[in-house]
Amino acid sequence: MPAHKIAQGPILCLDIGSGTQDVLLYFPDREIENCPKLVLPAPSRVLAGRIREATAQRRAVHLHGCNMGGGFHSAMKAHLAAGMPFSCTRDAAFSLADDLLALAATGVDIREDCPEGAADFLAADYDPVFWARALDTLGLPSPAMVTACAQDHGFHPGQSNRRGRFVLWEKLLHEAHGQPESLLYQEVPACFTRLQDLQRSIGGGPVADTGAAAVLGALFEPTVRRKAEARGLTLVNIGNSHTVAFLLYQGRVWGVYEHHTGLVDAPRLWDQLARFRKGLLNFEEIFDDRGHGVMRLDLPKEAGGFADTLVLGPRRTMLEGYDVEFPAPGGDMMLTGSFGLVEGLRLQGRL
């Protein structure tokens, strides 16, 4: 348990995905139904739109800022293909590639100054100026703390980023004894460069990976917590980019599966989940299929085979018609990650 409690006042909780950013202004002394909530376009999607507008106007583009979600990569490629200059600062360049020499070879000019006449855009998952204006416009108070989650493959020189990211889950199972709140970081591991930049942007508050926030978000819902105490659950978060599944029992994660959503369909995912629970799905099968991998511990018999399956995420309808439940933590499934940040703070004893 940390040596200090969170500062009194509202907490701005952000789940920054590839399609949306899901926002909760959490007041510890209010019912969750009376806390303001927003579902907004993801910052990378907004940036992609601005780049496309500049392309249509035949203007050069320059990015400054830091490492953020790379959802604007296709807009950058289209801009270059249209014969228009594209430049960015070194820090912003890491949003597009870990290998900056390879990025420069594609035609991106890495420079610290903005070329004359170029449209100059901020690359960042969190813009404090934007949020100060937005909250003021909505008549809402400034937060006492900002906490956020985003997906981070990590920077793993000399090895696959897919393999390197899976180390996140291996450490959860083996070093943190499956306690999901351990993945709400006050000190971010060095490999997670996007989360490090996100933490700096929000002013030093705790950050997490979206996968960790999803399992914590499920536990935010009392009915799910009670079920997971009585018997094992398979919790599946089908996101716009990644699908992550957890074997959950008595507040502990016993197994993790992660694939890319665009590479699975419903029958395939359902088959893989069934074999995952039984220990018949191995890491190599998922990794060789361009996913991240799978891992599970020896499962307790009391968990009952983790047969009950709960599905969350913006692409959750993929498993419609299967023997699954669709919970809505806090009454709003889209806010699961944001609720998870609150639950992580609670489990850490900071609320």
The answer to whether residues 246 and 320 belong to one domain is yes
Coil, strand or helix at 240: coil
pLDDT at 171: 86
- What would the two tokens of residue 344 be? 């992580």
The answer to whether residues 112 and 200 belong to one domain is no
Q: What is the pLDDT of residues 219-258, one digit of tens each?
A: 999 999 999 999 999 999 998 888 999 999 998 999 999 9
Residue 269 lies in a domain: yes
Could you tell me the sign of the dihedral formed by the alpha carbons of 134, 11, 201, 334, in that order? Answer: negative
Look up the CATH number of the domain holding residue 272: 3.30.420.40
The answer to whether residues 250 and 196 belong to one domain is yes
pLDDT at 8: 77
Coil, strand or helix at 96: coil
Average pLDDT over every residue of 52-81: 97
Average pLDDT over every residue of 30-58: 97
Half-sphere exposure of 242 (CA within 13 A, CB side): 23
pLDDT at 18: 85
Average pLDDT over every residue of 249-270: 95
The answer to whether residues 50 and 28 belong to one domain is no
The answer to whether residues 241 and 311 belong to one domain is yes
Average pLDDT over every residue of 92-105: 94
Look up the CATH number of the domain holding residue 110: 3.40.50
Which pLDDT band holds residue 3 (cuts at 50, 70, 90)?
very low
Residue 135 lies in a domain: no
Coil, strand or helix at 127: coil
What is the count of structural domains for the chain? Answer: 2
Q: Which domain holds residue 91?
A: 43-123
pLDDT greater than 70 at residue 1: no
The answer to whether residues 313 and 191 belong to one domain is yes
- pTM across the whole model: 0.90
The answer to whether residues 265 and 180 belong to one domain is yes
Average pLDDT over every residue of 285-298: 93
pLDDT greater than 60 at residue 294: yes
pLDDT greater than 50 at residue 35: yes
Q: What is the mean pLDDT of the chain?
A: 92
Residue 140 lies in a domain: no
The answer to whether residues 292 and 253 belong to one domain is yes
**In 204-247, where does DSSP find H-type helix?**
210-220, 222-230
Contact indicator for 247, 306 with CB cutoff of 8 Å: yes
pLDDT greater than 60 at residue 37: yes
The answer to whether residues 232 and 113 belong to one domain is no
Residue 200 lies in a domain: yes
Which pLDDT band holds residue 7 (cuts at 50, 70, 90)?
low
pLDDT at 335: 94
The answer to whether residues 288 and 215 belong to one domain is yes
Residue 132 lies in a domain: no
In what side-by-side order are the strands of the sheet with 308-312?
A: 293-296, 252-260, 242-249, 233-238, 308-312
The whole-angstrom separation of Cα 238 and Cα 233 is 16
The answer to whether residues 63 and 199 belong to one domain is no
pLDDT greater than 80 at residue 59: yes
The answer to whether residues 215 and 87 belong to one domain is no
